[in-house]
Amino acid sequence: MKLSKHEFLKLQKEWYRKVQESGFHDIECFEGDELVLSRPSPSDYFRASSFEREMREQYYLAICHAVHAEDTVFKNDVHRYVMQRHAEGAKAKTISEELEAKGHIRHRHSIRFIVRKYEMAWGLRTYDHKQIGLKKKA
């Protein structure tokens, strides 16, 4: 059984209404009779509670202080650049693209491993061996 365009749109709207009532937030929404991508905030920061926002601010402030401390030693200039950009809130993908433009190719996963290494060294977070890209010790 094939539905006409009008019947299909009616059924689709009904489905989206039920899904929305259940509490699910879809990336698409109806504007009139047209299904379009919703434009969410570029960051979850604005949807977070005030406690979460303050904790993020404290985290990035601590990273920034550690990056700019005189006694901080980095393995190389790439690590320094990664941590400076991370302290500014840049995403791993963005940092990876910026490094590639400078001739230093690093995958976004490598960026995360670098960040995690320094987070652990500075006592901000802890990770297991798999999360920092190391094999488990025998």
Structure confidence at residue 78 (pLDDT) = 94
Instruction: List helix spans (H) across 40-91.
Output: 50-68, 77-87
> What is the rounded CA–CA span in Å between residue 128 and residue 131?
5
Structure confidence at residue 138 (pLDDT) = 55
Structure confidence at residue 59 (pLDDT) = 92
Mind listing the pLDDT tens digit for each residue in 13-36?
A: 888 888 778 877 777 777 777 777
Write down the pTM of the prediction.
0.63
Structure confidence at residue 50 (pLDDT) = 85
Region 105-129 average pLDDT: 90
In this structure, are residues 118 and 109 in contact, taking their beta carbons and an 8 Å threshold?
no
Which residues, in sequence order, are CB contacts of 127 under 8 Å at separation 6+? Answer: 116, 119, 120
134 pLDDT tier (thresholds 50, 70, 90): confident
Mind listing the pLDDT tens digit for each residue in 92-116?
A: 999 999 999 999 998 989 999 999 9
Distances (CA, A) of 47 to 14, 55, 61, 90, 132: 27, 14, 20, 19, 29
Mind listing the pLDDT tens digit for each residue in 37-90?
A: 666 555 666 677 888 888 888 999 999 999 999 999 999 999 999 999 999 989
Given a cut of 80, is residue 135 above it in pLDDT? no
Residue type at position 135: K
